[in-house]
Amino acid sequence: MPRFGEGCYDSQDLYEVEPHGRYLNSTDTESRPLPKIIPRSEHPISRANISNNALKVLYRLKNAGYSAFIVGGGVRDLLLGRHPKDFDVVTDARPEEVDALFRNCRLIGRRFRLAHVRFGRDIVEVATFRAAGAAGDDDDRLHDESGRILRDNVYGTIDEDVWRRDFTINALYYNIADFTLWDYVSGLEDIKSRTLRLIGDPETRYREDPVRMLRAVRLAAKLEFTIAPEAAEPIPRLAPLLADVPPARLFDEVLKLFHAGHAVRSLELLREYGLFQYLFPRTEEAFRGEDGAAALEFVRMGLANTDQRIQEDKPVTPTFLYAVLLWPVIRAEAKALEAERYAPVLAITEAAHRVVTEQQRHTTLPRRFASPMKEMLAMQPRFENRRGPRAQRLLEHKRFRAAYDFLVLRSRCGEVDPEIAEFWTRVQEMTPEEQREAFGGSKQRRSARRRRGRRRAAAAGTFDAA
Ligand code: ATP
Ligand code: MG
């Protein structure tokens, strides 16, 4: 017989792992909650609004004899008349069974396996119903390492799956078999009253997974919902728990907060609930410091710009986002380095390096974004020079566009002479001939000037490119 904790799983133990919600012992059918089942005629979700790929997955599962539902953001957003980002499918089929049904399927995750069914660039995620012992989320980085959660005990039934979800509005299930909507937790009422309410005891749920506090704020910002008082109350108190969340997971959350078209509102709410200081501690410090109002205004304008770009369907990148969020800190640090006689470009490069390295301990920034970010910031002082081929070559720099956008932002905040930003706006529209002129005239005149300049510099004993 295996010893306790070694290959066996005591159901009592499961209750200890997951002391939240209403506990369901799967053998105890008596205490199983029943969902409110809303027929198709009484809810607005139409297959016309569900992606074809998600429908294909749902039907294939159903035709193979499994149950198949859409749950989470997809259902919620359809009920709100919004366009869902994606559709998450849940089923009673085990991951291996899902895998066997689709040629274009890949299983991901170690402890909690998920199936990804791929259609070109689109991926439909299929999860097997999970029991409460599988708390947390789809992210196996998060889960407790004690090894007590064994794979065999992870899967469950729909009426177990519901309790591990975060908010009532995220726990509505759309059944492909008869197009009904299953509601175990009065999620529909909360959709109607636009309320974010946690399933179970809020403090317990936040302690299980502190990222839920960020999700509360994110969904409140995105949907313009109110966080229910009992769900809002513990957040400022429990915010320090974010310090224990892996920085890579927080990076993902940061993108969801700031790259979804509601960045300005996200920042406001994050600060209101005392969460922002655990994501970007130095930036929060800058907001509270001497030039705090200016720092906040800069970040707000940068985020408004990001929101605007999303509205216009333009691409956004973490490179620019982190540049905006960290700039007040980097700028101050660069100033201090300049006082130690660093040249401006070097000062920014070094400051950016130090600040990003420190930031990585809180929310990561993968190197493919960190390097261009540093380059883009280091270009800022170089824009101040508007004469000569060196200046002109900035136009061809691979970070020109992002660096220029950043310059415009700085000039709008009164950090740079607007004339400089206007110059760089104008030259981009010029013909090559006009550009040569703008950067100091024709080749001959320029070299003549350079010679004169050199002579003068030599006479003065200095060589000043400006
Ligand atoms: P979005 O529209 O941003 O995708 P979403 O609610 O669908 O929002 P996902 O991260 O896609 O968010 O998660 C899908 C569903 O999984 C959620 O609706 C919720 O039911 C559940 N879920 C996700 N993360 C958690 C978590 N940390 N704790 C509990 N349940 C979660
Ligand atoms: Mg989703």
Alpha helices, H only, 259-399: 263-272, 276-279, 281-288, 292-311, 318-339, 344-359, 367-378, 388-393
Mean pLDDT of 239-249: 96
| pLDDT reading at 443 higher than 70 | no
Average pLDDT of the segment spanning 38-62: 97
> What does the pLDDT average to over 305-317?
97
User: Predicted confidence band at 457 (pLDDT cuts at 50, 70, 90)?
Assistant: low
Cβ neighbourhood burial of 252 (10 Å; 0-12, 13-18, 19+): middle
Closest CA to 254 of 372, 360, 121, 390: 360
Q: How far is 272 from 266, CA to CA, in rounded Å?
A: 10
CA of 258 to the centre of ligand 2 (A): 16
Residue ranges per domain, the chain? 1-200, 280-441
Average pLDDT rounded to a whole number, residues 357-369: 97
Is the pLDDT at 135 greater than 60? The verdict is no
Atom of ligand 1 nearest to the CA of 77: 2
Kindly give the number of the ligand 1 atom that is closest to the alpha carbon of 86: 4
**Residue 301 identity (one-letter amino acid):** M
For the stretch 68-101, pLDDT in tens is: 999 999 999 999 999 999 999 999 999 999 999 9
Mean pLDDT confidence for 156-161: 94
As a whole number, mean pLDDT of residues 152-174 equals 91
Distance of CA 87 from the midpoint of ligand 2 (Å): 6
Q: Which two tokens stand for residue 444?
A: 């001959």
Identify the band that residue 33 occupies on the pLDDT scale cut at 50, 70 and 90.
Answer: confident
List residues with catalytic annotation: 86, 88, 166
Architecture, CATH, for domain 280-441: Orthogonal Bundle (1.10)
- Interval 91-131: pLDDT, tens: 999 999 999 999 999 999 877 789 999 999 999 999 999 98
Which ligand sits nearest to residue 223's alpha carbon? 1
Question: Which is more confident, 139 or 173?
Answer: 173
Judged by DSSP in three states, 172 sits in strand
Burial 395-428, CB ≥16 within 10 A → b, else e = eeeebbebbbbbbbbbbbbeebeeebbebbeebe
Query: What would the mean pLDDT of 197-224 be, rounded to a whole number?
Result: 97
- Pick the residue whose CA is nearest to atom 6 on ligand 1: 73
pLDDT band at 20 (very low <50, low <70, confident <90, very high): very low
Q: Does residue 200 contact residue 179 with C-beta atoms inside 8 Å?
A: no
Asked if residue 373 has pLDDT above 70, the reply is yes
- Per-residue DSSP letters for 26-94? TT-GGG----EEE-GGGS---GGGS-HHHHHHHHHHHHTT--EEEETHHHHHHHTT---S--EEEESS-
Output the CA–CA distances (angstroms, integers) from residue 13 to 10, 110, 133, in the order listed. 5, 21, 9
Mutate to test the pocket of ligand 1, among 87, 128, 137 (most ligand atoms within 8 A of CB): 137
Residue found under tokens 């429990």: 238
Q: Counting Cβ atoms within 10 Å, is residue 306 exposed (0-12), middle (13-18) or buried (19+)?
A: buried
**pLDDT at residue 154, rounded to an integer:** 80
Identify which ligand lies nearest to the alpha carbon of 206.
Answer: 1
Contact status, residue 390 vs residue 397, Cβ threshold 8 Å: no
Average predicted confidence (pLDDT) for the chain: 87
Cβ of 282: how many Cβ atoms within 10 Å? 19
Give CA–CA dist 310/316, Å, rounded: 7
| Ligand 1 centroid – CA 466 distance (Å) | 54
**Residue 11 confidence (pLDDT):** 29
Look at 153 and 264; give whichever has higher pLDDT: 264
pLDDT at 422 over 70: yes
pLDDT in the model for residue 110: 78
Q: What is the whole-number distance in angstroms between the Cα of residue 219 and the centre of ligand 1? A: 10
How many residues can be counted in the chain?
466
Q: What is the pLDDT of residues 381-412, one digit of tens each?
A: 999 999 988 999 999 999 999 999 999 999 99
Residue 428: CB partners within 8 Å, gap ≥ 6? 395, 404
The architecture (CATH level 2) of 1-200 comes to 2-Layer Sandwich (3.30)
Distances (CA, A) of 103 to 87, 109, 115: 20, 19, 12
Distance between CA atoms of 346 and 359, rounded to whole angstroms?
20
Within 6 A (CB) of ligand 1 lie: 72-73, 85, 88, 137, 165-166, 170-171, 209, 211-212, 215, 256
Q: How far apart are CA 437 and CA 445, in angstroms?
A: 10
